[in-house]
Structure 1
Amino acid sequence: MKFTIDVLGIFLKVVVRVNRVTFAPLVVSTLFILLTSLLAHCARRLVQKIVKESFVRLLLEEAIAAAELCGCCFELIVVADNFGVATYAIFLFALTIWWSLNWGDATACPYTHIEDVIEGKGDVRKALLITWAELTGGLLVFKYVQMYWVLEIAETHKNKAFEDCTADLQVPVLYGAVVEGIATCICRIASRGLSDLNPRFSTAIDSFIGTSLVVAAFDYSGGYFNPVLATSIKAGCEGHTLIEHAAVYWLGACTGSIISVYLYKLPVIQKYVRGTTEVNGDSIWADKED
């Protein structure tokens, strides 16, 4: 507890000094994201050390991962609004790599557990419990973000803590669901393929694909591709009803994920994966010599 208080105290001193000296709101946002990642990392290590029961530990890790994801993405919205989508994409690319390397078995994403159920790797009860843990972490983290925003250390946080949010959906609900579904499907197929092919820099490649799809969908649905993330940040916002939100960000994304399971099993994709692996085991390019 004392360690956490000391870290927060040092953090606030740093951001106040940086902001006063350089007037760099982007640095303030960066430091907040780093703090959020650090606190989540410490919480994750604590859970791994203390909790012995594997499923309970997984539930807590999922809640922590979802809180970290949503907490960082709340601040990424500030980055996108004030510094552009390109800057947002750079941050997201780096964070996705960090999450991939540090989350372990946690995904902070409900449809991965639906995929496990379909493939016989999990059961419905556990999938629902994990989804509940993810939603809990994703929804509760806003209070933490709000505590920071209310300080208004940077100009970009002025009135941010209590402002009314607006939906990112810029197209009709059906189109939005299709965008989220197709992009999620592509993301999941790419992730599965990279996992099987295991090329060099697979984590960076996966992050690049995901980030590119988010940017491509940014002006249509917001490019969330994760029901928990979308719910934490945009559920209840002005511009769509809860039913419309669920249709786009839950039904759309989950449908895309489910379709990806069956598409990945198609002979044409499996032939490519097996052929590439046999020709050149650690490269995504069949004719590349390492």
Structure 2
Amino acid sequence: MGIEQLGYSVFFIVLTSAIAAIARRLNNKLSKDGLVKELIFEAIAAAELCGCCFELIIVADNFGVATYAVFLFTLTIWWGMQWGNATACPYTYMEQIVQGEVNFKEAALKIWAQLMGGCCVFRYVQLYWWLEMAETHEGRAFEECSADLKVNLYVGALIEGFATLCCRLASKVISEKDAKFGAFIDSFVGTSLVVAAFNYSGGYFNPVLATALKWGCAGNSALEHIIVYWIGSCTGAVLSVPLFKTSTFRNLFLTEKVKSE
């Protein structure tokens, strides 16, 4: 595949990010501060995430995982700069429930907004693919999708859970240390883990993303999808909360020394 074909993917990703940026500005200007405004921001972030990642599937299939990784690394940094308090990821709010920072109702509404944004964006993606301006999009708009899980169900859940645990712990350490190039380091860690898991579970580490891209695809039942991409990832994320607070972990990865209780 030539550079011209890759250009169509770049154009779509840039267009999607631009539309999301405009939507965020409009929401910030027109909506009153409060929960509704936050829900809209979550829906926009999830739509941008999933819309771009649909196209990243095309990139990975046609230009290799290395090219996919470069795109993902760059996009992760961009999203970190643009999303504000939105996360487009449900387990961040599950962590906050555990820590008593948000109530269950608010967390559930934000997760619902993420799912709506992530799942509804496919029609927009499908329209672009249907135009078939690039060879890489031919036949993709109405193609039957297949699941990415290539290992045993529980091994897949373990991979998604452990990698999510590592991602969340890395993010917490970087945040607390306030590293100079924290965004780049965080993106590098996340992208590396995605690439490592890519040929096993798909490396989603985000239930909304996995559901938007792969729910109902051939190869996994609904229950299997939930076990791997929801229970697996969310368990890993929630476990990061108490683990990060342990003296053993903090002594290993943070400069401070904490006495064991």
- Normalising to structure 2: TM-score of the pair? 0.96
Tell me what 1:3 maps to.
none
- What letter is aligned with 1:147? L
Displacement after TM superposition at 1:274 (Å): 5.1
Matched, 1:54 2:34: yes
Tell me what 1:114 maps to.
94
Displacement after TM superposition at 1:68 (Å): 0.1
Matches for 1:121-160 after TM superposition, within 5 Å? 121-160=101-140
Cα distance change on mapping 1:23 and 1:272 into 2, 3 Å: closer
- What letter is aligned with 1:171? V
CA–CA distance in 1 between the matches of 2:255 and 2:205? Answer: 30
CA–CA distance in 1 between the matches of 2:169 and 2:246? Answer: 11
- What letter is aligned with 1:33? I
Tell me what 1:282 maps to.
none
| Alignment partner of 1:204 out of 184, 199, 203 | 184
The 8 Å contact of residues 250 and 256 in structure 2, kept in 1 or not, is answered as no
How many pairs does the alignment contain? 256
Deviation per CA, 1:232-279, whole angstroms, max 9, x where unpaired?
0000000010100000000000000011111111102223555269xx
CA–CA distance in 1 between the matches of 2:44 and 2:68? Answer: 22
Identical aligned pairs, as a percentage?
56
Report the secondary structure of 2:158's partner residue: helix
Tell me what 1:163 maps to.
143
- RMSD over aligned Cα atoms: 1.2
| Alignment partner of 1:100 out of 66, 70, 80 | 80
Matched, 1:185 2:160: no
CA–CA distance in 1 between the matches of 2:256 and 2:61? Answer: 41
CA–CA distance in 2 between the matches of 1:107 and 1:164? Answer: 29
CA–CA distance in 2 between the matches of 1:110 and 1:23? Answer: 36
Report the secondary structure of 1:108's partner residue: coil
The 8 Å contact of residues 196 and 273 in structure 1, kept in 2 or not, is answered as no
CA–CA distance in 2 between the matches of 1:270 and 1:58? Answer: 32
- What letter is aligned with 2:209? L
Tell me what 2:17 maps to.
37
Greater RCO (CA < 8 Å, at least 6 residues apart): 2
Cα distance change on mapping 1:26 and 1:276 into 2, 3 Å: farther
- What letter is aligned with 1:174? Y
The 8 Å contact of residues 165 and 237 in structure 2, kept in 1 or not, is answered as yes
The 8 Å contact of residues 179 and 221 in structure 1, kept in 2 or not, is answered as yes
For structure 1, the residue ranges without an aligned partner over 5 or more in a row are 1-21, 278-290
CA–CA distance in 1 between the matches of 2:3 and 2:212? Answer: 30
Q: Which moved more, 1:49-58 or 1:68-77?
A: 49-58
* Structure 1 moving runs of 4+ over 6 Å: none
**Whose radius of gyration is greater, 1 or 2?**
1
Deviation per CA, 1:34-71, whole angstroms, max 9, x where unpaired?
00000000000110111113211110000000000000
CA–CA distance in 2 between the matches of 1:48 and 1:263? Answer: 36
CA–CA distance in 2 between the matches of 1:216 and 1:49? Answer: 41
Matched, 1:256 2:236: yes
Matched, 1:84 2:64: yes
Q: Which moved more, 1:23-32 or 1:239-248?
A: 23-32
- What letter is aligned with 2:104? V
Displacement after TM superposition at 1:128 (Å): 0.4
CA–CA distance in 2 between the matches of 1:189 and 1:200? Answer: 18
Deviation per CA, 1:60-113, whole angstroms, max 9, x where unpaired?
000000000000000000000000000000000000000001000000000000
Tell me what 1:10 maps to.
none
- Normalising to structure 1: TM-score of the pair? 0.86
Report the secondary structure of 2:79's partner residue: helix
For structure 2, the residue ranges without an aligned partner over 5 or more in a row are none
